Amino acid sequence: MAKKEDKKYKDYLDYESPTIKFLDGEQTKLAEEQIIIIKALRINKNMTAKEIHDLYIDEETKKHRYTIKTIYRYLEKLEEAGLVKISGHRMTEGKRLSEQLYTRTGNIFFKAKKEEVYPDVKEKKKSFHKKIYTVLQEISDSPLIEFNDFENLLSQKSDLEQEFNKSVVEVISENKVLTELYSEMDIDEVNYINDLVSLLLVIIKKPELIKKIQKIYKE
């Protein structure tokens, strides 16, 4: 059991989050709904319900936007979904009762594909692809390949990025250098770096697809 010492309190921890946790569609949706808690626990590692409650103070009124009961309800849902876990307790000087500490069940959450989370994403993607197709048509005099072929290329690229993103995440937990590097990042950094690395891996390792994309304009 680990101890974290402080002048005013001591944290007694009996759970340490693994580096990676892969989320299914429902877990991903809940994590996005409760992103304030999820992000805070990524930075602070272990927090009490009161500390989490203080994340919801309105800057103008200086009052909590939700009651502490609501926060406990959020935490209960996150626990049931396997996203948050009680990691120990905190003893504060001058208090007889301890406070439970909460942490994430993974230092890095690998989210499910958007299509697994939101059923309408597939149709939205098609709409976006059509708009991208139109933009590319209008900024060049050269005609494009057929839309279905164009959309297929974008889908292949997206699937490969997701595949490479997952492989990057899997390597992190097995590589000491990467584990230490990622443990210092916040979630926005993790997402930005993983997305860019995945795109670069597609360019580097799938040159045949990139060549096809480069030829979307008919010669």
Cα distances (angstroms) measured from residue 70 to each of 67, 76, 125, 171:
5, 10, 35, 37
Query: Is residue 80 located within the same domain as residue 146?
Result: no
Does any domain span residue 53? Answer: yes
Strands 84-92 and 20-22: unpaired
Both tokens of 49, joined, read: 């319900």
For residue range 138-184, what is the model confidence (pLDDT) as tens digits?
Answer: 998 889 999 999 999 999 999 999 999 989 988 988 898 998 888 77
Does any domain span residue 219? Answer: no
Query: Is residue 106 located within the same domain as residue 140?
Result: no
Query: Is residue 124 located within the same domain as residue 106?
Result: no
According to the model, what pLDDT value does residue 185 have? 80
Query: Is residue 131 located within the same domain as residue 185?
Result: yes
Indicate the residue among 110, 141, 159 that finishes a domain: 110
**Residue 70 to residue 64: CA distance in whole angstroms:** 11
pLDDT higher than threshold 60 for residue 196: yes
Query: Is residue 179 located within the same domain as residue 131?
Result: yes
Does any domain span residue 61? Answer: yes
Q: What residues contact residue 4 under an 8 Å CB cut-off, 6+ apart?
A: 10, 11, 13, 46
For residue range 31-75, what is the model confidence (pLDDT) as tens digits?
Answer: 999 999 999 998 888 999 999 999 999 999 999 999 999 999 999
Evaluate if pTM is beyond 0.95.
no
Domain count, the chain: 2
According to the model, what pLDDT value does residue 2 have? 46
Query: Is residue 72 located within the same domain as residue 136?
Result: no
pLDDT band at 7 (very low <50, low <70, confident <90, very high): low
Query: Is residue 103 located within the same domain as residue 169?
Result: no
Query: Is residue 103 located within the same domain as residue 150?
Result: no
For residue range 79-126, what is the model confidence (pLDDT) as tens digits?
Answer: 999 999 999 999 999 888 999 999 999 988 888 888 888 888 888 888
Query: Is residue 76 located within the same domain as residue 161?
Result: no
Could you tell me if 36 and 55 are in contact, meaning their C-beta atoms sit under 8 angstroms apart? yes
According to the model, what pLDDT value does residue 44 have? 85
